[in-house]
Amino acid sequence: MKTRTIHVCTSCGSSAMRWQGQCPGCGEWNTLEARSGSTQGKTQNVSPASRPSRLSSVDLTRADHMPTGMQELDDVLGGGLVPGGVVLLGGEPGIGKSTLLLQLLSLAGTKDGHTLYISGEESLPQIRSRAQRLGLDQENLQAMATGSLEDILAALSSHGPYQLVIIDSVQTISSSESDSMPGAPTQIRQVSSSLIKAAKESGTCIFLVGHVTKEGQIAGPKLLEHMVDTVIYLEGDKEHLFRILRVIKNRFGPTDELVMFQMGALGLEVIQDPSTFFLQARDPALSGTAVVMAVDGHKPFAVEVQALATPSFLSIPRRTALGFDLNRLHLLLAVMEKKLQRSLAQSDIYTKIGGGLKLVDPGLDLGLVAAVLSSFHNQSLPERAIFWGEVDLNGQIRPVLGQDIRLKQAFRLGYKPVFCPRSPESDTGISTIMELQDMLFGSNNPGS
Protein backbone atom coordinates (compact mmCIF):
# COMPACT_ATOMS: atom_id res chain seq x y z
CA MET A 1 0.00 0.00 0.00
CA LYS A 2 1.44 3.32 -1.03
CA THR A 3 1.41 6.16 1.46
CA ARG A 4 1.73 9.86 0.99
CA THR A 5 1.86 12.89 3.21
CA ILE A 6 -1.06 15.28 3.27
CA HIS A 7 -1.51 18.44 5.31
CA VAL A 8 -4.75 18.84 7.27
CA CYS A 9 -5.97 22.11 8.77
CA THR A 10 -6.62 21.86 12.52
CA SER A 11 -9.17 24.68 12.29
CA CYS A 12 -11.51 23.67 9.46
CA GLY A 13 -10.36 20.14 8.52
CA SER A 14 -9.58 20.89 4.87
CA SER A 15 -6.53 19.20 3.33
CA ALA A 16 -3.73 20.26 1.00
CA MET A 17 -1.14 18.24 -0.91
CA ARG A 18 1.73 20.34 0.39
CA TRP A 19 2.37 22.62 3.32
CA GLN A 20 1.66 26.32 3.03
CA GLY A 21 1.40 29.12 5.53
CA GLN A 22 -2.28 29.90 5.00
CA CYS A 23 -5.07 27.33 4.92
CA PRO A 24 -6.83 27.38 1.52
CA GLY A 25 -10.14 26.50 3.19
CA CYS A 26 -10.60 28.92 6.09
CA GLY A 27 -7.73 31.36 5.57
CA GLU A 28 -6.16 30.75 9.00
CA TRP A 29 -2.36 30.89 9.28
CA ASN A 30 -0.03 28.11 10.46
CA THR A 31 -2.82 25.57 11.00
CA LEU A 32 -1.72 22.87 8.50
CA GLU A 33 -0.27 19.70 10.05
CA ALA A 34 1.34 16.81 8.22
CA ARG A 35 -0.60 13.54 8.21
CA SER A 36 0.07 10.22 6.49
CA GLY A 37 -2.59 8.91 4.12
CA SER A 38 -3.11 5.98 1.81
CA THR A 39 -3.42 6.30 -1.97
CA GLN A 40 -4.84 2.80 -2.46
CA GLY A 41 -8.53 2.71 -3.29
CA LYS A 42 -10.85 0.70 -1.09
CA THR A 43 -13.52 -1.67 -2.32
CA GLN A 44 -16.79 -1.15 -0.51
CA ASN A 45 -19.78 -3.43 -0.39
CA VAL A 46 -23.10 -1.71 -0.98
CA SER A 47 -25.43 -2.30 1.95
CA PRO A 48 -29.17 -2.79 1.41
CA ALA A 49 -29.88 0.49 3.19
CA SER A 50 -27.89 2.41 0.58
CA ARG A 51 -29.86 1.03 -2.39
CA PRO A 52 -32.70 3.05 -3.96
CA SER A 53 -36.18 2.33 -2.61
CA ARG A 54 -39.67 3.43 -3.48
CA LEU A 55 -41.02 5.91 -0.96
CA SER A 56 -44.34 4.05 -0.89
CA SER A 57 -42.58 1.00 0.54
CA VAL A 58 -40.66 2.84 3.28
CA ASP A 59 -41.67 1.87 6.83
CA LEU A 60 -42.75 4.94 8.83
CA THR A 61 -43.03 3.26 12.23
CA ARG A 62 -39.60 4.49 13.32
CA ALA A 63 -40.51 8.05 12.34
CA ASP A 64 -43.29 8.32 14.92
CA HIS A 65 -42.71 10.89 17.64
CA MET A 66 -42.24 9.72 21.22
CA PRO A 67 -43.63 11.96 23.97
CA THR A 68 -41.09 13.43 26.37
CA GLY A 69 -43.51 13.75 29.29
CA MET A 70 -43.45 17.55 28.96
CA GLN A 71 -46.26 18.67 26.65
CA GLU A 72 -44.78 22.12 25.99
CA LEU A 73 -41.48 20.59 24.91
CA ASP A 74 -43.32 18.13 22.67
CA ASP A 75 -45.02 21.06 20.94
CA VAL A 76 -41.69 22.80 20.39
CA LEU A 77 -40.07 19.68 18.93
CA GLY A 78 -43.05 19.05 16.64
CA GLY A 79 -44.62 16.17 18.58
CA GLY A 80 -41.82 14.77 20.72
CA LEU A 81 -38.64 12.76 20.24
CA VAL A 82 -37.92 11.14 16.88
CA PRO A 83 -36.12 7.76 16.87
CA GLY A 84 -32.71 8.24 15.29
CA GLY A 85 -32.97 12.02 15.55
CA VAL A 86 -30.09 14.15 16.78
CA VAL A 87 -30.84 17.38 18.66
CA LEU A 88 -28.23 20.06 19.34
CA LEU A 89 -28.86 22.25 22.41
CA GLY A 90 -26.86 25.46 22.77
CA GLY A 91 -26.78 28.12 25.46
CA GLU A 92 -24.52 30.24 27.63
CA PRO A 93 -22.71 28.70 30.61
CA GLY A 94 -24.93 28.38 33.68
CA ILE A 95 -28.17 29.05 31.80
CA GLY A 96 -29.63 25.64 32.73
CA LYS A 97 -28.88 23.28 29.82
CA SER A 98 -27.76 20.37 31.99
CA THR A 99 -30.62 20.94 34.43
CA LEU A 100 -33.24 20.88 31.66
CA LEU A 101 -31.83 17.74 30.04
CA LEU A 102 -31.55 15.89 33.35
CA GLN A 103 -35.22 16.71 34.00
CA LEU A 104 -36.08 15.52 30.49
CA LEU A 105 -34.18 12.28 31.05
CA SER A 106 -36.03 11.69 34.31
CA LEU A 107 -39.42 12.20 32.62
CA ALA A 108 -38.50 9.84 29.78
CA GLY A 109 -37.15 7.27 32.25
CA THR A 110 -40.38 7.15 34.24
CA LYS A 111 -42.18 5.98 31.11
CA ASP A 112 -40.08 2.77 30.97
CA GLY A 113 -37.66 4.37 28.55
CA HIS A 114 -34.13 3.04 28.33
CA THR A 115 -32.18 6.29 28.82
CA LEU A 116 -28.57 7.30 29.46
CA TYR A 117 -26.87 10.53 30.56
CA ILE A 118 -23.23 10.86 29.45
CA SER A 119 -21.13 13.68 30.85
CA GLY A 120 -17.65 14.70 29.83
CA GLU A 121 -17.60 17.57 32.31
CA GLU A 122 -18.92 16.13 35.60
CA SER A 123 -18.25 13.04 37.65
CA LEU A 124 -20.95 10.59 38.65
CA PRO A 125 -21.17 11.94 42.25
CA GLN A 126 -21.70 15.45 40.84
CA ILE A 127 -24.46 14.22 38.55
CA ARG A 128 -26.17 12.37 41.40
CA SER A 129 -25.90 15.42 43.65
CA ARG A 130 -27.61 17.61 41.03
CA ALA A 131 -30.34 15.02 40.48
CA GLN A 132 -30.88 14.90 44.24
CA ARG A 133 -31.21 18.70 44.44
CA LEU A 134 -33.79 18.62 41.66
CA GLY A 135 -35.80 15.93 43.46
CA LEU A 136 -35.54 13.45 40.55
CA ASP A 137 -36.12 9.71 40.79
CA GLN A 138 -32.56 8.35 40.61
CA GLU A 139 -33.65 4.71 40.22
CA ASN A 140 -34.63 5.36 36.60
CA LEU A 141 -31.52 7.38 35.72
CA GLN A 142 -28.44 5.80 34.18
CA ALA A 143 -25.31 7.92 33.93
CA MET A 144 -21.80 7.60 32.58
CA ALA A 145 -18.81 9.92 32.98
CA THR A 146 -16.34 9.72 30.10
CA GLY A 147 -14.70 11.86 27.47
CA SER A 148 -13.89 9.04 25.05
CA LEU A 149 -15.92 8.54 21.90
CA GLU A 150 -14.96 4.87 21.78
CA ASP A 151 -16.34 4.28 25.29
CA ILE A 152 -19.62 5.95 24.31
CA LEU A 153 -20.01 3.90 21.12
CA ALA A 154 -19.21 0.72 23.03
CA ALA A 155 -21.86 1.54 25.64
CA LEU A 156 -24.45 2.28 22.98
CA SER A 157 -23.81 -0.99 21.18
CA SER A 158 -23.41 -3.31 24.20
CA HIS A 159 -26.05 -1.93 26.59
CA GLY A 160 -28.52 -0.48 24.09
CA PRO A 161 -30.59 0.14 22.24
CA TYR A 162 -31.43 3.25 24.22
CA GLN A 163 -34.49 5.36 23.70
CA LEU A 164 -32.80 8.62 24.68
CA VAL A 165 -29.13 9.48 25.20
CA ILE A 166 -27.82 12.86 26.34
CA ILE A 167 -24.18 13.83 25.77
CA ASP A 168 -22.99 16.82 27.78
CA SER A 169 -21.11 18.22 25.96
CA VAL A 170 -19.90 17.45 22.45
CA GLN A 171 -16.88 19.74 22.90
CA THR A 172 -15.53 17.55 25.73
CA ILE A 173 -15.64 14.27 23.79
CA SER A 174 -12.59 13.17 21.80
CA SER A 175 -11.74 10.34 19.42
CA SER A 176 -8.49 8.44 19.44
CA GLU A 177 -8.49 8.57 15.63
CA SER A 178 -7.82 12.31 15.72
CA ASP A 179 -4.67 13.88 17.11
CA SER A 180 -6.22 17.26 17.92
CA MET A 181 -7.37 18.41 21.33
CA PRO A 182 -11.00 17.99 22.52
CA GLY A 183 -13.11 20.86 21.27
CA ALA A 184 -11.07 21.39 18.11
CA PRO A 185 -13.08 21.54 14.87
CA THR A 186 -11.64 18.26 13.62
CA GLN A 187 -12.56 16.51 16.89
CA ILE A 188 -16.07 17.95 16.92
CA ARG A 189 -16.60 16.87 13.31
CA GLN A 190 -15.29 13.34 13.96
CA VAL A 191 -17.28 12.90 17.19
CA SER A 192 -20.51 14.30 15.78
CA SER A 193 -20.45 12.25 12.59
CA SER A 194 -19.82 9.03 14.56
CA LEU A 195 -22.63 9.77 17.03
CA ILE A 196 -25.07 10.71 14.27
CA LYS A 197 -24.27 7.48 12.44
CA ALA A 198 -24.83 5.47 15.63
CA ALA A 199 -28.16 7.23 16.22
CA LYS A 200 -29.44 6.51 12.72
CA GLU A 201 -28.41 2.84 12.87
CA SER A 202 -29.82 2.12 16.35
CA GLY A 203 -32.87 4.40 16.33
CA THR A 204 -31.68 6.19 19.47
CA CYS A 205 -32.56 9.84 19.94
CA ILE A 206 -29.42 11.74 20.96
CA PHE A 207 -29.22 15.18 22.54
CA LEU A 208 -25.88 16.94 22.10
CA VAL A 209 -25.04 19.89 24.35
CA GLY A 210 -22.99 22.55 22.57
CA HIS A 211 -20.93 25.30 24.16
CA VAL A 212 -21.31 28.78 22.71
CA THR A 213 -18.79 31.48 21.89
CA LYS A 214 -18.88 35.02 23.27
CA GLU A 215 -20.87 36.00 20.15
CA GLY A 216 -23.58 33.49 21.12
CA GLN A 217 -22.83 30.98 18.34
CA ILE A 218 -22.26 27.27 18.99
CA ALA A 219 -18.52 26.68 19.22
CA GLY A 220 -16.94 24.61 16.48
CA PRO A 221 -17.57 24.33 12.76
CA LYS A 222 -20.91 25.59 11.43
CA LEU A 223 -21.16 22.21 9.74
CA LEU A 224 -22.28 20.76 13.08
CA GLU A 225 -25.59 22.63 12.90
CA HIS A 226 -26.14 21.34 9.36
CA MET A 227 -25.42 17.74 10.35
CA VAL A 228 -27.95 17.45 13.17
CA ASP A 229 -31.72 17.24 12.72
CA THR A 230 -32.79 19.88 15.25
CA VAL A 231 -31.05 22.92 16.73
CA ILE A 232 -32.49 24.55 19.86
CA TYR A 233 -31.16 27.34 22.05
CA LEU A 234 -31.80 27.99 25.73
CA GLU A 235 -31.73 31.76 26.17
CA GLY A 236 -32.19 34.19 29.01
CA ASP A 237 -30.46 36.41 31.50
CA LYS A 238 -28.87 34.62 34.45
CA GLU A 239 -29.85 37.57 36.64
CA HIS A 240 -33.54 36.87 35.92
CA LEU A 241 -35.58 33.74 36.62
CA PHE A 242 -37.07 33.15 33.15
CA ARG A 243 -35.57 31.12 30.30
CA ILE A 244 -36.68 30.77 26.67
CA LEU A 245 -36.17 27.54 24.73
CA ARG A 246 -36.16 28.48 21.04
CA VAL A 247 -36.14 26.23 17.97
CA ILE A 248 -33.78 27.39 15.21
CA LYS A 249 -33.90 24.35 12.92
CA ASN A 250 -36.18 21.32 12.90
CA ARG A 251 -36.42 18.67 10.21
CA PHE A 252 -39.34 16.98 11.93
CA GLY A 253 -41.52 19.93 12.87
CA PRO A 254 -42.03 23.69 12.77
CA THR A 255 -39.35 26.27 13.45
CA ASP A 256 -39.63 29.59 15.27
CA GLU A 257 -41.39 27.84 18.17
CA LEU A 258 -40.52 28.52 21.79
CA VAL A 259 -41.43 27.58 25.34
CA MET A 260 -40.82 29.73 28.43
CA PHE A 261 -39.47 28.44 31.72
CA GLN A 262 -38.72 29.98 35.09
CA MET A 263 -35.96 28.73 37.34
CA GLY A 264 -37.32 27.34 40.58
CA ALA A 265 -36.06 25.33 43.51
CA LEU A 266 -36.67 22.07 41.62
CA GLY A 267 -35.23 23.16 38.30
CA LEU A 268 -36.90 24.68 35.27
CA GLU A 269 -40.69 25.01 35.46
CA VAL A 270 -42.89 25.76 32.45
CA ILE A 271 -44.63 29.15 32.47
CA GLN A 272 -48.14 28.06 31.57
CA ASP A 273 -49.43 31.51 30.60
CA PRO A 274 -46.59 33.84 29.56
CA SER A 275 -49.00 36.47 28.20
CA THR A 276 -48.74 38.67 31.32
CA PHE A 277 -45.72 37.13 33.05
CA PHE A 278 -43.45 40.08 32.21
CA LEU A 279 -45.88 42.70 33.58
CA GLN A 280 -45.54 41.73 37.21
CA ALA A 281 -45.41 44.65 39.71
CA ARG A 282 -46.04 47.21 36.95
CA ASP A 283 -47.39 50.63 37.95
CA PRO A 284 -49.43 52.07 35.01
CA ALA A 285 -49.62 55.51 36.67
CA LEU A 286 -45.95 56.19 35.92
CA SER A 287 -44.92 58.07 32.81
CA GLY A 288 -42.55 56.61 30.24
CA THR A 289 -44.03 53.09 30.20
CA ALA A 290 -46.11 51.41 27.50
CA VAL A 291 -47.49 47.90 27.15
CA VAL A 292 -46.71 46.20 23.83
CA MET A 293 -48.26 43.00 22.51
CA ALA A 294 -45.16 41.27 21.19
CA VAL A 295 -44.88 38.05 19.23
CA ASP A 296 -41.90 35.72 19.52
CA GLY A 297 -42.24 32.61 17.43
CA HIS A 298 -46.01 32.12 17.36
CA LYS A 299 -46.73 33.13 20.94
CA PRO A 300 -48.21 36.59 21.74
CA PHE A 301 -47.39 38.05 25.14
CA ALA A 302 -47.53 41.50 26.68
CA VAL A 303 -44.27 43.23 27.63
CA GLU A 304 -43.49 46.59 29.13
CA VAL A 305 -41.40 49.09 27.15
CA GLN A 306 -39.79 51.75 29.33
CA ALA A 307 -38.32 55.10 28.28
CA LEU A 308 -36.68 57.99 30.11
CA ALA A 309 -36.15 61.35 28.41
CA THR A 310 -34.20 63.81 30.51
CA PRO A 311 -32.29 67.04 29.69
CA SER A 312 -28.69 66.36 28.73
CA PHE A 313 -25.63 68.22 29.96
CA LEU A 314 -23.37 66.54 27.41
CA SER A 315 -22.32 67.85 24.01
CA ILE A 316 -23.54 64.58 22.49
CA PRO A 317 -26.69 63.28 24.27
CA ARG A 318 -26.73 59.65 25.31
CA ARG A 319 -28.88 57.02 23.63
CA THR A 320 -29.25 53.65 25.37
CA ALA A 321 -31.33 50.63 24.33
CA LEU A 322 -31.54 47.44 26.40
CA GLY A 323 -33.34 44.46 24.91
CA PHE A 324 -33.47 45.62 21.28
CA ASP A 325 -31.30 47.16 18.56
CA LEU A 326 -29.85 50.59 19.37
CA ASN A 327 -29.91 51.56 15.69
CA ARG A 328 -33.66 51.08 15.72
CA LEU A 329 -33.96 53.59 18.54
CA HIS A 330 -31.87 56.11 16.57
CA LEU A 331 -34.17 55.64 13.59
CA LEU A 332 -37.34 56.15 15.61
CA LEU A 333 -36.00 59.27 17.32
CA ALA A 334 -35.09 60.76 13.94
CA VAL A 335 -38.61 60.09 12.64
CA MET A 336 -40.13 61.67 15.76
CA GLU A 337 -37.95 64.78 15.39
CA LYS A 338 -38.96 65.17 11.75
CA LYS A 339 -42.64 64.26 11.80
CA LEU A 340 -43.71 65.27 15.32
CA GLN A 341 -41.45 68.34 15.50
CA ARG A 342 -40.25 67.39 18.94
CA SER A 343 -36.80 68.62 19.93
CA LEU A 344 -35.11 65.50 21.30
CA ALA A 345 -31.56 66.51 20.38
CA GLN A 346 -30.94 68.03 23.82
CA SER A 347 -32.24 65.04 25.79
CA ASP A 348 -30.60 61.88 27.03
CA ILE A 349 -32.95 59.01 26.14
CA TYR A 350 -32.75 55.63 27.84
CA THR A 351 -35.00 52.77 26.77
CA LYS A 352 -35.37 49.13 27.77
CA ILE A 353 -37.71 46.16 27.71
CA GLY A 354 -38.90 45.13 31.17
CA GLY A 355 -37.93 41.76 32.60
CA GLY A 356 -34.58 41.47 30.81
CA LEU A 357 -36.15 40.31 27.54
CA LYS A 358 -34.33 40.63 24.22
CA LEU A 359 -36.64 40.96 21.21
CA VAL A 360 -36.28 41.69 17.50
CA ASP A 361 -40.01 42.18 16.90
CA PRO A 362 -40.62 45.24 14.65
CA GLY A 363 -43.98 45.60 16.38
CA LEU A 364 -42.15 47.21 19.31
CA ASP A 365 -41.75 50.45 17.31
CA LEU A 366 -45.13 51.98 18.16
CA GLY A 367 -44.76 51.18 21.86
CA LEU A 368 -41.30 52.77 21.92
CA VAL A 369 -42.64 55.95 20.33
CA ALA A 370 -45.49 56.08 22.86
CA ALA A 371 -43.13 55.49 25.81
CA VAL A 372 -40.69 58.20 24.68
CA LEU A 373 -43.55 60.68 24.17
CA SER A 374 -44.97 59.79 27.58
CA SER A 375 -41.64 60.48 29.30
CA PHE A 376 -41.04 63.61 27.20
CA HIS A 377 -44.44 65.06 28.23
CA ASN A 378 -44.14 63.55 31.74
CA GLN A 379 -47.66 62.22 31.33
CA SER A 380 -48.73 58.60 31.82
CA LEU A 381 -50.51 56.66 29.11
CA PRO A 382 -54.05 55.22 29.50
CA GLU A 383 -53.97 52.45 32.10
CA ARG A 384 -55.21 49.61 29.84
CA ALA A 385 -53.76 50.89 26.55
CA ILE A 386 -51.70 48.50 24.42
CA PHE A 387 -49.52 49.15 21.37
CA TRP A 388 -47.89 47.38 18.45
CA GLY A 389 -46.89 48.28 14.91
CA GLU A 390 -43.85 49.05 12.76
CA VAL A 391 -42.99 52.71 12.15
CA ASP A 392 -41.47 53.54 8.75
CA LEU A 393 -39.32 56.54 7.83
CA ASN A 394 -42.37 58.62 6.91
CA GLY A 395 -44.03 58.13 10.27
CA GLN A 396 -46.60 55.68 8.92
CA ILE A 397 -47.55 52.62 10.96
CA ARG A 398 -47.13 49.41 8.98
CA PRO A 399 -48.73 46.01 9.69
CA VAL A 400 -46.58 43.39 11.39
CA LEU A 401 -46.55 39.61 11.56
CA GLY A 402 -49.29 38.08 13.70
CA GLN A 403 -51.76 40.96 13.57
CA ASP A 404 -54.73 38.69 14.18
CA ILE A 405 -53.26 36.76 17.11
CA ARG A 406 -52.06 39.99 18.74
CA LEU A 407 -55.53 41.50 18.44
CA LYS A 408 -57.26 38.41 19.83
CA GLN A 409 -54.84 38.21 22.74
CA ALA A 410 -55.29 41.91 23.52
CA PHE A 411 -59.08 41.52 23.61
CA ARG A 412 -58.80 38.35 25.71
CA LEU A 413 -56.69 40.17 28.30
CA GLY A 414 -59.08 43.11 28.35
CA TYR A 415 -56.78 45.81 26.95
CA LYS A 416 -58.48 48.95 25.64
CA PRO A 417 -57.80 51.23 23.79
CA VAL A 418 -55.77 49.31 21.23
CA PHE A 419 -53.21 51.24 19.17
CA CYS A 420 -52.20 49.09 16.22
CA PRO A 421 -51.85 49.34 12.42
CA ARG A 422 -55.09 49.99 10.59
CA SER A 423 -56.25 47.03 8.50
CA PRO A 424 -58.91 46.77 5.75
CA GLU A 425 -60.71 44.02 7.67
CA SER A 426 -61.15 46.12 10.83
CA ASP A 427 -61.76 49.73 11.77
CA THR A 428 -59.44 49.36 14.75
CA GLY A 429 -56.06 51.01 14.38
CA ILE A 430 -54.19 54.19 13.47
CA SER A 431 -52.20 55.18 10.40
CA THR A 432 -49.41 57.53 11.53
CA ILE A 433 -47.49 58.54 14.64
CA MET A 434 -48.95 62.03 14.22
CA GLU A 435 -52.37 60.51 14.80
CA LEU A 436 -50.97 58.64 17.81
CA GLN A 437 -49.69 61.88 19.34
CA ASP A 438 -53.02 63.66 18.84
CA MET A 439 -54.96 60.82 20.43
CA LEU A 440 -52.67 60.56 23.45
CA PHE A 441 -51.72 64.18 24.15
CA GLY A 442 -54.01 66.30 22.02
CA SER A 443 -52.65 69.76 21.33
CA ASN A 444 -50.17 69.55 24.21
CA ASN A 445 -46.96 70.92 22.70
CA PRO A 446 -44.21 71.97 25.05
CA GLY A 447 -42.36 73.63 22.22
CA SER A 448 -38.82 73.31 21.12
363 is in an annotated binding site: no
93 is in an annotated binding site: yes
User: What distance in Å separates the CA atoms of residue 27 and residue 21, rounded to the nearest whole number?
Assistant: 9
CB of 440 closer than 8 Å to CB of 370: yes
User: What distance in Å separates the CA atoms of residue 144 and residue 172, rounded to the nearest whole number?
Assistant: 14
447 is in an annotated binding site: no
User: What distance in Å separates the CA atoms of residue 59 and residue 391, rounded to the nearest whole number?
Assistant: 51
Grouping H, G, I as helix, E, B as strand and the rest as coil, residue 21 is coil
98 is in an annotated binding site: yes
Using DSSP bridges, classify how beta strands 267-270 and 258-264 pair: parallel, antiparallel or unpaired: antiparallel
User: What distance in Å separates the CA atoms of residue 378 and residue 189, rounded to the nearest whole number?
Assistant: 57
175 is in an annotated binding site: no
Q: DSSP class of residue 45?
A: P
In angstroms and rounded to an integer, the radius of gyration of the C-alpha atoms of the chain is 27
Does the CA dihedral 373-374-375-378 come out positive or negative? positive
* Residue positions counted in the chain: 448
192 is in an annotated binding site: no
b/e string for 275-295 if b means 16 or more Cβ within 10 A? Answer: bebbbeebeeeebbbbbbbbb
Grouping H, G, I as helix, E, B as strand and the rest as coil, residue 322 is strand
Name the binding residues for ATP: 91-98
Question: Could you tell me which residues are annotated as the binding site?
Answer: 91-98
